[in-house]
Amino acid sequence: MPTYEFFCQKCSKPFEVTWSIAEYERKIKAVKCTKCGSRKVAKRISAFQVQTSKKS
Ligand SMILES: [Zn+2]
């Protein structure tokens, strides 16, 4: 699943969330800091970790 990076303006700390695409659509509207619960967060450039290959 992709990882999204945010920056909490209250904590002044970055944090990451791992959401599926469906979760992203739903949660991006009300994203909260995982530490303090503040909604003053800014999205950072996402460092996508997309796993496309399933080698069996
Ligand atoms: Zn915070």
pLDDT at 51: 58
Residue 29 lies in a domain: yes
Give the residue with greater pLDDT, 31 vs 54: 31
In tens, the pLDDT along 15-46 reads: 999 999 999 999 999 999 999 999 999 998 65
Q: Say how many domains are in the chain.
A: 1
List the strands of the sheet with 13-18, edge to edge: 13-18, 3-8, 41-43
List, in order, residues 6 or more apart from 35 with CB less than 8 Å away.
8, 11, 13, 15
Question: Containing H/E element for 6?
Answer: strand 3-8
Residue 56 lies in a domain: no
Ligand 1: centre distance to CA 56 (Å):
41
Residue 49 lies in a domain: no
Residue 32 lies in a domain: yes
pLDDT at 1: 84
Domain residues for the domain of 19 are 3-43
pLDDT at 17: 93
Ligand 1: centre distance to CA 52 (Å):
32
pLDDT at 35: 93
List, in order, residues 6 or more apart from 45 with CB less than 8 Å away.
5
Ligand 1: centre distance to CA 1 (Å):
23
